[in-house]
Chain A
Amino acid sequence: MKVSVFAILKRTFEEAHGKSMYRFLLYMTGVPLHLLVYLFYLLKRKDDTYEATMADVEQELAHEGRRVIYFEAFEEQLLCKAAFFQEKLSNEEIHRQAEKLVDERFKEEVMLRTEGRHGVRKVTYYTYFLSLLERPMFLIASLVPGVFMYVLLLLISNPFLKYIMERLVQSVFVIIGVGILVFSILYISPFDPASNILGESATQEQIAAFNQIHGLDLPYLQQLWNALKGIATFDLGSSFAGSEDVASSIANKFPITFTIAMFSVLMAIVIAIPVGIFSATRPNSFLDTTFMFIALIGLSIPNFWQGLIFILNFSIKLNWLPATYSPGNALSMIMPVIVLGTGLTASIARMMRSSLLEIIHEDYIITARAKGLTKSQMLWKHAVGNAMIPVITVIGLMFGGMLGGAAVTEKVFNIKGIGSYIVDKQFIPDIPAIMGGVVYIAITISLVNLLIDILYAFLDPRIRSKMKQS
């Protein structure tokens, strides 16, 4: 068992060393260990015979007149090539190119002969370290200084963990990028929050004091650092207007938006997937055309107009449902959920239909039918599961759009969610509030998409095998 651990470590180190990013990480995480080992390596290298042998071989080959032989061959090749492509190359040019090729070829030959004849291998730090990794004693001795590197090695030895780690790191970079982007956009804004809030009659001193309280007089990089730190530590300071704590107002408003969005997604899945499957199994029938027509209309309705029409019909004319949302009242949630989910329902239904239609015409479905499966067995065992894969991606992507687009729906139904919060704050512009709102939504979306990607890695055998190959 222990032996296999060494083998894994060594193999992973070899593989990871090939990629520059990982090589850098390996040396960074194991700095103390590598320093020590490098000292030993320098001491040991003195009695190395490789260089000496190589020099011998080089002289031998030069003596044989190899260079001239190579040169003639390459020159002829180059001349032939130039003649074929009808290029006019000067003699010097051909000479220069031939010399270059000869150098390369000669070096290659020298290395080949050195290794072939004497059985010595070139010792680099890398090979030296690899040979050490095989020894159990070395591993135990180096466990303390190299613990981070070993953890990293173990992590990337497993394709799943490696994939998850890579996706996580990628998400972190994206989130930092989002923070920088949104902050920079608001920073270069020509508007001045101080004079917007304090009014036109504010004196220079008042404006300066305001800017100092909110850190607006600091240089760009300092402000950016504060903002990013604030997002990471959930401490965004107080908003410009009304001095409420931004992080806690976002924490209060976010769950409302999230709940409505989740219910919309649920509604969309429950309605759209059966509709999509039904349409795909009876393509171009009357019901299919009708469903897809309705779906296209659903895609084309602006949320706010649909909300207004719902309010007009169900609240004002029929008086069935309350026109505005109140947190405790489940009935008041029905209209916002339907309005927010319409577009998603329509997209999923269309996507499900086209994806399933594509799969039904694949060869393996014909095989399934040929081996005697009934239509429904074929559909449920072989087709639907595979057709769901792109659909789930679409759900993940659309979920982000829904959280962003919720602002409009929230305004129509007077919901105090994160979307309407951002819209309310943008007139000032209240930098911490807008930034916090946008970045936290972006983080949520990234996390949802990360989760979907990881789920895929477990569920989809094609992705699994691709991961193992790479």
Chain B
Amino acid sequence: MEEKLHNRHALVLSKEYPQANFTWIISLIISVIFLVNSFSFTTGEMNSLVFAMFIAYLATTFLQLFITRRMKRDLLDTGAIQKKTRRLGYVQLLSLVSGNVFAAAAAFNLINERKTPEYTFAVYMFLTQLFVIAISAMNMFKPYVTDTFLVSMAVLLVITVFHAAVLIAVAKLVRETDAPRSMAMIAVFVLLTAVTGNLFALLLGWSLLLKSISNDHSRILKWHVMWEKITRNSMAVFGLFFIILMLAISVTSRFTFDYDFAVENDYGNILQTPSLAYPFGTDNFGRDVFSRIVFGARISLLVGFASTAIPVVVGGFLGGIAGYYSIRTDNVIMRLLDVLYAIPGILLAIAIIAAFGANTTNLIIALSVGSIPTYARTMRANVLMVSNYDFVDSARALGTSDLSIIFKQVVPNSLAPMIVKSTLTIGGAVIATSSLSYLGLGVEPHIPEWGNILRVGSTYLESHSYLAVFPGLAIILLVLSFNFLGDGLRDALDPRLD
């Protein structure tokens, strides 16, 4: 009886089991979407490629369902997942061929019993690299490729092989709190590969360096516990994965994609339906929508990050001063910010753009100004709380200057809510960017930006709806990723949940 109870606990506490459950559900949903889209109701035609995808995803779903069942049985019978079941993960790795990142991640998670944040980083670093190569490889179906295509693909492949090797090494050698000294050399090379935009390499490299070189045990433990919490939330990691994938694509697309396909008019190929050469079709000027979306990621990320970073700094500074200094300073700053707060962000942005014209710089400024007050309020509340703590009092009693107290004691201790908030609002900034572009008030119309692509697509809604559907999906995926990551960070960083 007691053992049964114990095993039930094992089921609940298992890291793999909930993810396995989630994986088969999401695979099933995606396969149903493929099924619905493989058949055109108006013409009665079957799209064999989409149908093949459906079959592949359905197969993955059944395999995953089978694995999930075995995991449940193992856990209930013995309290641990058996080696045999874990080996099924190698079979499930085949789902990578169909691009099912959920199943692949679950498989990697299943294969390795010892889970360190480094293993998760390594897995997603490898997956990001694979996806970058897969997306870039779509260019091979184009009539021609850019000059640097072959070289950069070769470099990417070499890096991928290296990443695979690192993944195996990490799985075998890295433990909870330390790593062999020899890993430091590898870590430096891993850090170097982060220039491709694959920030998982940056995380992994840093983490490995820390564990192999540093003797500061508490620092390692702090880092480990924080990432352990974040990586336990698989949705947050998927969010991070998609954001980093977009970033890596933005960086590598400079060398693997031809910008001409995205901006040059090609009147011989107007409004083509999706095909291998044009995966998302072409628009009314014959421009390849797939390339446009890939290049659009750059703008969305740039505007999203910039229009979050500026108000974080400005609002954080104002809020910090208001919270730390006297009531009078506080009142003056906060009442002035109340004025900004009373105007809805989009309207203020429209007014600013109306005054100074529509371009990317003005867009960033317009979006930044509107969100200064929210960050100032968050920072002020944190600073008010933190500056009442004993360690601040003791710093003051030791005669530390105000500036030093603010930057050394107060700010570092009130950053966590700001980070969470900014992650959650980058998504909002991405939506606002595309909304304003859709209204013709954002990025200049000739630049490939997701809102601009949608704006063109919306005029062909009746005849060529894919023009509006794909950029919209890209926006949703990116925003959703930021929201998932933000939720994950909040759960991990919120001290109340400790």
Contact = CB atoms under 8 A, between A and B. Distances in A.
A binds B: yes
Given A312-B465, A401-B344, A426-B350, A189 B339 contact: no
Interface stretch (A210-218, A298-306, A364-372): A298-306
Given A178-B339, A316-B461, A405-B346, A296 B487 contact: yes
Nearest to A85: B399
Contacts of A404: 343-347
A: contact size bracket? 35 or more
B350 A407 contact: yes
B282 interface: no
Contacts of B355: 185-186, 188-189, 191, 429
A321 interface: no
Interface string B333-366: 0011011101111111011111111000000000
Contacts of A426: 350-351, 353-354, 441
Contacts of A437: 347
B489 interface: no
Interface string A259-286: 0000000000000000000000000000
Contacts of B480: 296-297, 300
A350 to B, nearest CB: 9
A175 B434 CA distance: 29
B439 A442 contact: no
A175 B346 contact: no
Given A296-B480, A301-B476, A309-B472, A174 B342 contact: yes
B216 interface: no
Interface string A390-416: 000000000011011101100110000
A25 B490 CA distance: 46
Nearest to B477: A300
A408 B16 CA distance: 43
A308 interface: yes
Contacts of A185: 351-352, 355
Contacts of B386: none
A186 B354 contact: yes
Contacts of B476: 297, 300-302, 305
B469 interface: yes
B475 interface: yes
Contacts of A434: 350-351, 354
Most buried by A among B336, B346, B441: B346
Contacts of B434: 302, 304
Interface residues of B, number: 44
A36 B389 CA distance: 52
B495 to A, nearest CB: 14
A289 to B, nearest CB: 9
Interface string A434-447: 10011001100110
A256 B475 CA distance: 29
B11 interface: no
A312 B338 CA distance: 40
Contact of B357 (A174, A191, A299, A300): A191
A181 B355 CA distance: 12
A173 interface: yes
Contacts of B350: 407, 422-423, 426, 434, 438
Interface in B439-498: 439, 441, 454, 457-458, 461-462, 465, 468-469, 472, 475-476, 479-480, 483-484, 487
B484 A296 contact: yes
A236 interface: no
A305 B453 CA distance: 11
Given A190-B356, A404-B347, A438-B347, A304 B479 contact: no
A375 to B, nearest CB: 22
Given A178-B339, A309-B472, A438 B351 contact: yes
A299 B354 contact: no
Given A297-B476, A442-B342, A445-B344, A186 B351 contact: yes
A311 interface: yes
Nearest to B472: A305
A164 interface: no
Majority SS at the chain A contact face: helix
A210 to B, nearest CB: 19
A177 interface: yes
A181 B352 CA distance: 10
B439 A441 contact: no
A438 B370 CA distance: 13
B320 interface: no
Most buried by A among B347, B351, B457, B479: B347
Nearest to A186: B355
A405 B345 CA distance: 8
Contacts of B487: 296
B441 A423 contact: yes
A226 B61 CA distance: 68
B303 interface: no
B358 to A, nearest CB: 9
A88 to B, nearest CB: 14
A177 B339 contact: yes
Contacts of B435: 302-304, 405, 408
A266 B445 CA distance: 37
A181 B340 contact: yes
A384 interface: no
Interface string B303-346: 00000000000000000000000000000000110111011111
Contacts of B427: 299-300
B346 A408 contact: yes
Contacts of B457: 308
B469 A309 contact: yes
A316 B462 contact: yes
Nearest to B490: A354
B450 to A, nearest CB: 9
B438 interface: yes
A308 B344 contact: no
B431 interface: yes
Nearest to B481: A300
Interface in A176-204: 177-178, 181-182, 185-186, 188-191
A173 B335 contact: yes
A308 B479 CA distance: 18
A364 to B, nearest CB: 18
24 contacts: A174-B342, A177-B339, A177-B342, A181-B339, A191-B357, A297-B476, A299-B479, A300-B479, A302-B434, A302-B435, A304-B434, A305-B454, A305-B476, A316-B462, A401-B344, A404-B344, A405-B344, A412-B458, A422-B347, A423-B350, A429-B354, A441-B347, A445-B342, A445-B344
Given A316-B461, A423-B350, 5 more contacts: A174-B338, A178-B343, A186-B351, A405-B346, A442-B342
What 10 pairs across the A-B complex have the smallest Cβ distances?
Answer: A404-B344, A177-B339, A426-B354, A189-B355, A305-B472, A300-B479, A404-B347, A300-B480, A429-B354, A404-B346
